Amino acid sequence: MSRVLAWSVFVLLMLQSLSSGENATHRKFPCKTPTNASSCYWTHGRLAVYNGTPAFRLWKTGTTRVLGIHSGPSATDPLDNEDPELPANVRAWFTPSQDRIYGDFEVCPLEPVRPGRMQDACIESGKNIVAGK
């Protein structure tokens, strides 16, 4: 009996690891790295597509601060600022007719704050996302 139980536990663990691997998102450009992990933080805001560079911008609700969104610190493609890599659950909310979402975002700054200027950052993850019109 214990042999059947051990085999069942083994099979269940294997199935769980396979299913978690399917749902895991592997980014081409990591946003949070050992170098910038200590500067990452959660903020509530509105992510929208704008005309200009960078196209994706995150307005931190209740402030005048705007973050210009990029894929991550290792992204070197000049067009990265037009279509940055975002977490899968954040990217899923963008549709051609819906280009604004609100939620809580974990952001990692890619440069120091400069008063009166947009700060480059990347989005590591998002939660509590809702679409806005």
Q: Give me the domain span that covers residue 75.
A: 37-131
pLDDT at 39: 95
Those residues whose C-beta lies under 8 Å from the C-beta of residue 81, and which sit 6 or more positions away, are: 53, 54, 55, 56, 68, 69, 70
CA distance 105 to 41: 8
* Number of structural domains found in the chain: 1
The answer to whether position 11 is within a domain reads no
The answer to whether position 126 is within a domain reads yes
The answer to whether position 55 is within a domain reads yes
The answer to whether position 12 is within a domain reads no
Least confident of 24-28, 49-53, 70-74: 24-28
The answer to whether position 43 is within a domain reads yes
Pairing type for strands 119-131 and 56-60 reads: unpaired
The answer to whether position 15 is within a domain reads no
The answer to whether position 71 is within a domain reads yes
Tens digit of pLDDT for each residue in 34-48? 999 999 999 999 999
The answer to whether position 67 is within a domain reads yes
Tens digit of pLDDT for each residue in 72-105? 887 777 777 788 989 998 988 877 556 789 999 9
Pairing type for strands 66-69 and 56-60 reads: antiparallel
